[in-house]
Amino acid sequence: MKVLLHTCCGPCASACAPALRSAGHETAAFFSNSNIAPEAEFAKRLDALRTLARADGFEVFADPPRHGDWLEKVARGFEDAPEKGARCERCWRYNLGRAAEFAAENGFDAFTTSLTVSPHKPSARIFEAGEEAAAKAGVRFLREDFKKKDGFKRSLERSRELGLYRQSWCGCEFSRRERPL
Ligand code: SF4
């Protein structure tokens, strides 16, 4: 199958892209993360993904960041919600909605997301957001739980080997406030 991998960052994708290939899928990454602020951080994470893509030989599609739109549609009124709370649910829906639309418009059979690699991200709730986005766009969502089979550990090892930048906070300005550098 031709599978679009919604990619939150290079380190997480380093465990997912090989897993999809091992399962026999053709894959490309879709970097759509309007949640990330500031824009320099968005660029840094995209660069890390491009480094991985060169090493692993897959294509990267970058969705231009729309942080203002994200603030308005996702964060407004939820600025103080804790991580994994209501703001995050809305954030996953926003980004996976973009991925579903891109997959449907560009001839992919299905899409999935690297978000499930992280131990900080509850896979069951990510799946719900993915299924919802898929139904709206008319494309299939693959329920890949990439944290299984030591996915997170492998992502750490590969990031170290390839010298990939690994951020220490989730992405938006509100997560940075919760976990200051
Ligand atoms: S903490 Fe992470 S998942 Fe939650 S809203 Fe911010 S960027 Fe999105």
How does pLDDT run across 90-146, given as a tens digit for each residue?
999 999 999 999 999 999 999 999 999 999 899 999 999 999 999 999 999 999 999
Interval between CA 90 and ligand 1 midpoint (Å): 9
Q: How far is CA 93 from CA 110, 115, 146, 157, 168, in A?
A: 16, 12, 18, 29, 22
Residue 162: domain span: 2-178
* Ligand 1 binding pocket includes 175 (Cβ within 6 Å): yes
Residue linked to tokens 């919604």: 6
Q: What percent of the chain has pLDDT over 70?
A: 98
Question: Which residue is listed with tokens 């709730």?
Answer: 125
Domains: count for the chain: 1
pTM: 0.96
The predicted-structure confidence for 26-48, as pLDDT tens digits, reads as follows 999 999 999 999 999 999 999 99
Q: Which of 41, 69, 83 to mutate to test the pocket of ligand 1 (most atoms within 8 A of CB)?
A: 83
Does the pLDDT at position 179 exceed 70? no
Task: Identify the pLDDT of residue 181.
Answer: 43
Q: Read off the CATH number of the domain in which 128 is found.
A: 3.40.50.620
